[in-house]
Amino acid sequence: MDTQTWIYLVVGATFALYVGIAIWAKASSTGEFYVAGGSINPVANGMATAADWMSAASFISMAGLIAFLGYDASAYLMGWTGGYVLLAMLLAPYLRKFGKFTVPEFIGERYYSRTARLVAVICLIVASITYVIGQMKGIGVAFGRFLEVEFATGLVIGMAIVFFYAVLGGMKGITYTQIAQYCVLIFAYTVPAIFISLQLTGVPLPQLGLGATMNDGSGLYMLEKLDQVVTDLGFAAYSTLKGSELNTALLTLSLMIGTAGLPHVIIRFFTVPKVSDARRSAGWALVFIAILYTTAPGVGAMARLNLMDTIQTGPVGEENANLAYENRPEWFKNWEATGLLEFEDKNGDGLIQYYDDTNEEFAQKARSEYGWEGNEMVTVDRDIMVLANPEIANLPGWVIALVAAGGLAAALSTAAGLLLAISSAISHDLLKGMIKPDISEKGELMAGRIAMAGAVLVAGYLGLNPPGFAAQVVALAFGLAASSLFPALMMGIFSKEVNRIGAIAGMLAGLGATLFYIFMYKGWFFVPGTNWLPNNADNWIFGIQPESFGAIGAMINFAVAIILSKVTGRPPAHIQDLVESVRVPRGATAPSASH
């Protein structure tokens, strides 16, 4: 059976499973639509949370960033895993105990203000829409390759599937679908990694294979071999930090606190019956997440080594050392069809030259000694690396099909969770909470589904022209959540001094500063060519990239909120008592939809 047939069979079977679950678990009430009736088992919820958390950025793009950035990409690993611990320990149990459906609802009641709730809705929508753009990019990449269609067509197909099962099932359908998707994506991620680790090092666990010796007889450790290969072609050493330490630290912090402020993950802790179950499901989720995150460094490094070895077939400078374009392997042709991998023969020799032509010293040597006129791999989208890795390594067709299903499962699961967060913010917080409090449950449910449909269309449109690779777009979303929602949540739980004026001003200041910095380098609403300054390290303020600025925005938020609260007075006594009661270790009732 050929690879494409395997892909159709495996992907088709998983989609049939997702759709079947959505139909079986159709939400019939707002409680089931928003929080699955609060009846999910903690272990099952931990698995669903892991699937919700491990998006296309984790499955598809993170290893791609690790493949090309090397040590610099460790910020993504540390930020996203550390942030989940922060969320599980400092926010989730207290928010679950508070007993409301949504983050804006908590902020509105804690800061005794409809305006605060409205500002929180705006912050949530901005962060979630940005996040879901990254998922749409991943969906388009995966569908484009494995259904053999263009990126845009693949994106539209993915939008239709997300729309169906997210709109129909709500949180109830999404939860059970995400449990199935976690099983698919983790199996799909680890099985190819084991194959490739065995192939390169003879060690079955990629976590250990990353530090093992190559089985090619060279006696080199894998990272030592990779450093040698990339530096021979003018790239910076893979295992060294290439960016600034300040930027790396801020990026890690931004991802950490952004994680703790993301509403689509927080909302999962309302789907379990008790506060103690929220803690247990957080622990289980961390276990399930760790399986993928400890595997990712090995996957990224092995993908980069396989790519370089495929194109650079001999020592640099040796005649015919580069791959002849007409003899390029099948995987190369497959990805060229998507437009995410492109070759241009700049010197007319029919060979593929892949090297760092931005390294002026090496580029000069390449021109004078080898006759190379520039890097001829003019497009290598980093988001293809995990999906292409099994093909590059010549693994069996069923393994390639499994990776296709896993990549799609990762993107679809998180997209659904984000769309639900956007939907609940509009229908529950904005419509029922502020505009039409007397709306019926049936009307609210319909409004939620309409809002979700609108969010799918907006995210899909923006996903056609994303402002970066999937993980980079997601990092921007984390920065927006870090600068706006996280400080308000933290101060709302742990400080009795912050009042509504401080909270509202802090959220607006943090979000505004971060958006301003992003648009300076990324453009207005991510429209290409509308950025004010070139997006590179030479133009960044103190070398801080847009993805890292969320940490600065959070500091601005905290400072503004605390200073204004001191100037304008403490919150009312009943709000101070409320803050105290949230932290008292007692049981909680089921989530309430009251206002």
Q: What is the pLDDT of residues 211-221, one digit of tens each?
A: 899 988 888 99
**How high is the pLDDT of residue 169?**
54
**Three-class HEC string of 504-518:** HHHHHHHHHHHHHHH
CB count within 10 Å of CB 3 equals: 21
- The pTM of this model reads 0.80
Judge whether residue 341 has pLDDT over 70: yes
d(CA 487, CA 344): 48
Question: In this structure, what token pair is assigned to residue 121?
Answer: 């809705």
Judge whether residue 534 has pLDDT over 90: no
Q: What is the mean pLDDT of residues 444-455?
A: 80
In order of their start, the domains of the chain are 3-303+391-471 (1.10.4160.10), 341-380 (no CATH)
Query: Residue 53 corresponds to which amino acid?
Result: W
d(CA 298, CA 486): 32
Most confident of 21-35, 101-115, 308-322: 101-115
**How high is the pLDDT of residue 136?**
77
**How high is the pLDDT of residue 591?**
46
- Averaged pLDDT of the chain: 81
User: Helix or strand or coil: residue 449?
Assistant: helix
Tens digit of each residue's pLDDT (9 = 90 or more) over 165-205: 666 655 566 677 778 878 888 888 888 899 899 999 999 99
Q: Are the C-beta atoms of 32 and 255 separated by less than 8 Å? A: no
Q: What is the mean pLDDT of residues 244-250?
A: 90
Q: Which of the two residues, 413 and 291, has the higher pLDDT score?
A: 291
Q: What is the mean pLDDT of residues 266-285?
A: 75
CB count within 10 Å of CB 585 equals: 8
d(CA 91, CA 83): 11
Q: What is the mean pLDDT of residues 311-327?
A: 78
Tens digit of each residue's pLDDT (9 = 90 or more) over 228-239: 988 988 898 998
Tens digit of each residue's pLDDT (9 = 90 or more) over 103-122: 888 888 899 988 998 898 88
Question: Which long-range contacts link 78-82 to residues 24+ away (Cβ below 8 Å)?
Answer: 78/252, 78/255, 78/256, 79/251, 79/252, 79/253, 79/254, 79/255, 79/256, 79/258, 79/259, 79/478, 80/255, 80/256, 80/259, 80/293, 81/289, 81/290, 81/293, 82/252, 82/256, 82/259
Q: What's the gap between Cα 230 and its chain centre?
A: 27
Percent of the chain with pLDDT over 70: 87
pLDDT band at 587; cut points 50, 70, 90: very low
